[in-house]
Amino acid sequence: MTATVSDSFLPDQLARLFARLDPEHGPALQPLLQRLLAAVAGGHVCLGGLSGDDYARLRRSPLAGRAGDYTPLVLDEGGRLYLARHWQDETQLVAALTRLARDPQPFGGEVEAVLDALFGPSDAGDWQRLAARLATERRFMVISGGPGTGKTTT
C-alpha cells in the first residue's frame, strides 16, 4: 500500500513551525505563511499582493526582516514576501544578469561580413539580423516573440 501526502502537507507543516517560532505573532501569520509556502511549492519565489494588515503583521514579527537581516522571511520594499533563501537566490541572479547586460561584448569589424553571410545584405526590416547584431554587442540578451517568429533560427 502506498501512502500519499497531499500537496499542502509540507506548506501546512512549515507554516505551523514558523507560527510556533513566533508565539506572539505567528498564529495570526499562519494563513499568510501557508499562502507563501503554497506559492513556493507552485514554482513562485515570493508572495506579492499583501494587504496592509498582512504587511503590518509581518513588520511586527521577528520572523520577517528586510534585505540583509538574518531572518527566515524577507519582506522587500515592494511588499513581496520571500523565504530568505529564495530572496538571496533572486538577488544574486539579478546582480549577475545586470552585470552581464552592462558589460559590452566587443567584436571586431567582421561582424557585418558574418551577418551578410548568414542573413544576406542588410535590410532594415530584418528583425532576425537585427537581433543577431545586437547579440554581438552585449554578453546577455533576451530574444522573445511568439511562435514562428524566428527565435530558434536566430
List, for residues 60-84, the tens digit of each pLDDT value.
999 999 988 899 999 998 899 999 9
Break the chain down into helix, strand, coil percent, rounded to 5. Answer: 50, 10, 45
The per-residue pLDDT for range 96-121, each reduced to its tens digit, is: 999 988 877 777 678 888 888 888 88
- Tell me, what's the pLDDT at 90? 95
pLDDT band at 89 (very low <50, low <70, confident <90, very high): very high
Average pLDDT over residues 138-146: 84
- Tell me, what's the pLDDT at 71? 92
Average pLDDT over residues 38-54: 92
Domains identified in the chain and CATH numbers: 9-99 (1.10.10), 103-146+150-154 (no CATH)
Residue 42 CA to residue 27 CA, distance in Å, equals 23
Indicate if the pLDDT at residue 1 is higher than 80: no
Give CA separation, 59 vs 52, 85, 95, 115, in Å: 11, 19, 26, 55
- Tell me, what's the pLDDT at 113? 85
Indicate if the pLDDT at residue 3 is higher than 70: no
